[in-house]
Structure 1
Amino acid sequence: MQYLRSLIFTVQMYAVMALMGLYWAPIAMRKDDGAHRGVRAYCNYVRWSAAWMIGLTSEVRGEVPDGAVMITAKHQSFFDIIMLCSVLPAPKFIMKKELTRAPVLGWFAKRMGCVPVDRGKKGQAIAKMMADVQKGRARPGQLIIYPQGTRVVPGVQVPYKTGTAVLYQQLQETVIPVAVNVGVFWPRTGIRKTPGHAVIEFLDPIPPGLSKDVFVERLRNAVEGRSDELMAEAGFRAAELTRS
């Protein structure tokens, strides 16, 4: 039964994405904040519908940033993106280049000022990413980067990428780490979602000016440590998930 509920929820979620995309596209073309407003409305709809359709409630903890900051978030599933965009006033992501070709999502991502990255080119990709981010600074917002570079199954250890530390030193902006537990309810792949209470949490800011090594260690300890605590709070243990 939960699989069927999850399937119906997923189908309607993408259908509503198309419908709301059509509604908000003209507004996004006329107004600077139109794309952000449309995406925020859609993401709040997904959170609302997930609560009653599949039993997945959600909560955002910590102080939500509203200025020009860099957000470094744990990434476990599509739902942590949904939750971030439901509360941030002007999010823009460092994202895979392939996603810019996705229907609806790709167009709105461009209007929001997201920065596409060709992950296959490594060094060239980092240089282009930094150049694109600098160009985008004329349009203030919350720049979101996933330090591990991709969605990570809860409990699995994946190294933090170089690009995050490079951006931290180049931008000289405050960094807001984000911990999550959403992957234990909404998996990285597949249809079935598990009822529960998903949480993302904005953690204490990391000031600019640290060395790369110190920054990465502080970031990793904060994000991984708190994410493990949030998963434990939900009744899961990272070690158990790794073995399963």
Structure 2
Amino acid sequence: MAYGWRWLRSLIFSIQIYLAMAVLGIVFLPWAAFSRRGAFMACKLYCRWVLWTARWMIGLRAEVRGEVPTDEVMIAAKHQSFLDILIIFHAVPAAKFIMKRELLWTPVIGQYAYRIGCVPVNRGKRGLAIKKMVEDVASGTQLPGQLVIYPQGTRVAPGVKTPYKAGTAALYNQLGQACVPAATNAGVFWPRRGIYRKPGLAVVEFLPPIAPGLDRERFMARLEGEVEAVSDQLMRESGFEPDGVR
């Protein structure tokens, strides 16, 4: 009975956040079409709405730990669900994500992602996309902000081990910026698929920056080691045992 009630609440919550996305997307569209600030305002407001309604509708709270990056850095984040995207975007001043190019054609999400400066990447052609992005940054045409990349390339369910991709190291070396690792346990409460959302405390933790200048092997080893260790710790804190997943 309790599970059925929580599932129903999760369904209502899921419906209303997509309705809110459509409403805010339409209301802010005239401003967002001509102003990046308008696009950011719409997206920030949407994040606040989802995090607020999650708290009282399904008992899911969000928390940010560590020092939130505010300057020009690359954020290399663990990605488990849509929730960790919302938490990061809400926390940092001007996040822009490396994302799948197909998302540009998604109603509302695609248009606003383009306006805030997200970088679309073709599957199988990540190297070309990274090269183009580095060229844009060097020429001063890339919009300022905190560039968010997912080193594993996609959402990864809690406890599942997926290798970190070399494109993150290429970007780190070519941009010459500090990299801020970010860990999360968001997928424990908000899964990749399905309706059901669990109550609890979802955390995104920003870890100490990795200064520019490390070689590829040392950078990747440090990034993966730190993000996975802290993510596992956060999952255990929430009652999920990552080592039990096969």
Give the TM bin, normalised by the shorter chain: over 0.9
> Hey, what's the Cα distance between the residues in 1 that align with 2:41 and 2:169?
30
Match of 2:161 among 157, 160, 177: 157
Are residues 232 and 43 of structure 1, via their aligned partners in 2, closer, same or farther at CA, if it must alter by over 3 Å? same
One-letter identity of the residue aligned with 1:204: P
* Corresponding residue for residue 37 of structure 1: 41
How far apart, CA to CA, are the structure 1 residues paired with 2:63 and 2:123?
31
2:61 to 45, 57, 62: 57
- The separation in 2 between residues aligned to 1:123 and 1:89, in whole angstroms, is 27
RMSD of aligned Cα (Å): 1.5
* Contact 1:61 1:199 (8 Å CA) reproduced: yes
* Structure 2 CA distance for partners of 1:188 and 1:135, relative to 1, 3 Å: farther
Structure 1 position 132, deviation (Å): 5.1
Pair 1:88-2:92 in alignment: yes
Deviation readout 1:78-125 (Å, 9 max, x if unpaired)? 000011111211110000001111000100000001000001335444
Q: Give the deviation of 1:162 after TM superposition.
A: 1.1
Alpha-carbon shift at residue 179 of structure 1 (Å): 0.4
- From the superposition, tell whether residues 3 and 133 of structure 1 become closer, same or farther in structure 2 (CA, over 3 Å): farther
Q: Does the 8 Å CA contact 1:231/1:237 hold for their aligned counterparts?
A: yes
Pairs aligned (count): 242
CA contact under 8 A between 1:72 and 1:145: conserved in structure 2? Answer: yes
1:100-115 correspondence to structure 2 within 5 Å? 100-115=104-119
Which stretches in structure 2 are left out of the alignment for 5+ residues? none
In structure 2, give the amino acid aligned to 1:190: G
Call closer, same or farther: CA 1:24–1:229 in 2, change over 3 Å: same
Match of 2:182 in 1: 178
Aligned to 2:200: 196
| One-letter amino acid of the structure 1 residue matched with residue 57 of structure 2 | M
Match of 2:120 in 1: 116
In the alignment, is the contact (CA less than 8 A) between 2:13 and 2:58 conserved in 1? yes
Q: Which residue of 1 aligns with 2:219?
A: 215
SS at match of 2:143: coil
Residue 3 (structure 1) aligns with:
7
Aligned counterparts of 1:206 and 1:120: Cα–Cα separation in 2: 27
Answer yes or no: is the 8 Å Cα contact 1:185–1:193 preserved in 2: yes
Equivalence for 1:46: 50
In 2, Cα distance between equivalents of 1:131 and 1:125: 10
Question: 1:113-144: CA deviations, max 9, x gaps?
Answer: 10000013354444345445556764210000
**Structure 2 counterpart SS, 1:179:** strand
What SS does the aligned partner of 2:93 have? coil
What TM-score results when the alignment is normalised by the length of structure 1?
0.94
Answer yes or no: is the 8 Å Cα contact 2:97–2:149 preserved in 1: yes
Is residue 234 from structure 1 mapped to residue 234 from structure 2 by the alignment? no
Q: 1 CA distance for matches of 2:140 and 2:95?
A: 12
- What secondary structure does 2:36 align onto? coil
Unaligned runs of 5+ in 1: none
Kindly provide the amino acid, as one letter, of the partner of residue 85 in structure 1: F
Q: What is the alpha-carbon distance in structure 1 between the residues aligned to residue 20 and residue 78 of structure 2?
A: 26
Amino acid at match of 2:100: K
Equivalent residues of 1:80, 1:200 under 8 A apart: yes
